[in-house]
A = this chain, B = another copy of it.
Amino acid sequence: MTDFRLTALAQSLPDTVPFVGPETEERARSRLFDARLGANENVFGPSPIAVRVMAETQHWMYGDPESFELREALADHLGIRPDMIVVGEGIDGLLGYLVRIMVGPGDAVVTSDGAYPTFNYHVAGYGGVLHKVPYRHDDHEDLAALFKKAAEVKAKLVYLANPDNPMGTAHDGTDIVAALAHLPKDTLLVLDEAYLECAPPQVALPLPMDDPRVIRMRTFSKAYGLAGARVGYALGAPELIRAFEKVRNHFGMNRAAQAGALAALDDQTWLRSVQARIVASRNRIADIARKNGLKPIPSAANFVAIDCGGGPEYAKTVLHEMIARGVFIRMPFAEPQNRCIRISCGTPAQLDILAEVLPVAIRASEMG
């Protein structure tokens, strides 16, 4: 490899992926999954209007490098100015850009142990040093501990997902505001709000979008049902948002995706119907879990983490038994959250499969 004169940083990085996709697992088992409930996708799908708009897109044209219309529409929707918004290739892409402009070799970054691995991937990829704080015993990310650690290590960034992934727990926005008083002024809070539209209103952060202490990451991948399109956006102070122009892939946005996101945003009726179906689906997943003697963690996202009651090895066995029976699910990476499996919301038909397969998988796990 050194023949290629990679940078010292690149040489030090593993060539592994943050996590494997369901297609990879399907290829490994030479069979499609009967229920795809592992990637926190939105099985209810995007607005039919968005689907039509994407189908009618002239794919021969590059997308608008400014995502002008989408930013204008988001600004209208949120009651803010477009210069507080940058659109990018999903939250994953935007996290990469943010880490790139903020974090150099040796810079400190704080996150929770077991939180979103793709953020960690970017921090490691730019040579940053990750400091991890445990979740609270109630499976919430620990605001006080995160911000205290950030002060201690003089972190450039502190990451918080609200609602949280993989546990689905959420803080009220007012609690985050209160905790922010203890965050050093020169540490930026990266607030990943991918699941915000799945959560009750009090989860939103009641601060102006241009508050310089926070950058919020949002997406069309979850409640809006457009994971395949790759459209995320970040909201923050104009000076910070403008810095993304220094490094982002200006012509990186898919044109149909830009149009689809615009149409999806415009169809709030569809969004509300999806939100209702997510709530119903969460309730049924929790119900199925309880019927099987497992403990669902209350969720504000589009998935439910379920404590299998037997520790990490047992949860892993249940996961494998589910996957072997055609139900794609995932589980948290780190202790003590990895006592759980994580099941994304599904259609009634998919949850029928879940209800059927889960007890069988549990019996198989108990025997194994």
Asked whether any CB of chain B lies closer than 8 Å to the CB of A66, the reply is yes
- The distance from the CB of A1 to the nearest CB of chain B, in whole angstroms, is 5
A339 interfacial contact with B, CB 8 Å: no
Closest B residue by C-beta to A215: B4
Do residues B44 and A92 form an inter-chain contact, with CB atoms below 8 A?
no
Q: Which residues of B contact A15 (CB under 8 A)?
A: 242-243, 245-246
Q: Is the CB of A250 within 8 A of B17?
A: yes
CB of A21 within 8 A of CB of B57, answer no
Q: Is B249 in contact with A24, judged by CB distance below 8 angstroms?
A: no
Once A41-B60, A250-B17 are accepted as A-B contacts, the answer to whether A10 and B101 lie under 8 Å apart by CB is yes
CB within 8 Å for A5 and B251 given contacts A43-B60, A62-B39, A260-B59: no
Set of chain B residues within 8 Å of A14, measured between Cβ atoms? 246
Interface assignment of A335: CB less than 8 Å from any CB of chain B: no
CA separation between A3 and B186, bound complex, in Å?
7
Q: Which of A193-201, A225-233, A288-296, A354-362 contacts B (4 or more CB under 8 A)?
A: A225-233
Check A255 for interface membership: any CB of B closer than 8 A. Answer: yes
Complex Cα gap A21–B57 (Å): 17
Q: How many copies does the complex hold?
A: 2
* CB-CB under 8 A for A230 and B253, given A36-B61, A60-B46: yes
A58 interface residue per 8 A CB criterion: yes
**CB atoms of A8 and B102 under 8 A apart:** no
Verify B90–A251 contact, CB threshold 8 A: yes
CB-defined contacts of A39 to chain B, threshold 8 Å: 61-62
Partner of A55, one of B55, B66, B221: B55
Question: For the complex, what is the distance from the CA of A65 to the CA of B230, rounded to whole Å?
Answer: 12
Determine the distance from Cα of A23 to Cα of B255 in the docked complex, in whole angstroms.
12
Cβ-based interface call for A212 (8 A): yes
Q: Is the CB of B10 within 8 A of A59?
A: no
Contact of A332 with B by CB under 8 A: no
Q: Is the CB of B66 within 8 A of A21?
A: yes
Q: Is A42 an interface residue (CB 8 A)?
A: yes
Closest 3 CB pairs of A and B: A228-B255, A55-B55, A15-B245
Interface residues of A in 219-273 (CB under 8 A from B): 221, 225-230, 237, 239-240, 242-243, 245-247, 249-257, 260
B57 touches A228 (CB 8 A): yes
A4 to B190, CA, bound (A): 12
Known: A4-B188, A15-B243, A93-B249. 10 other contacts (CB 8 A): A10-B247, A24-B65, A24-B66, A43-B60, A54-B54, A92-B250, A125-B246, A228-B256, A229-B254, A254-B254
What's the nearest-Cβ distance from chain B to residue A151, in Å? Answer: 14
Say how far A92's CB is from chain B's closest CB, in angstroms.
5
Residues 56-76 of A, flagged 1 when their CB comes within 8 A of B and 0 if not, give 011111111110100000000
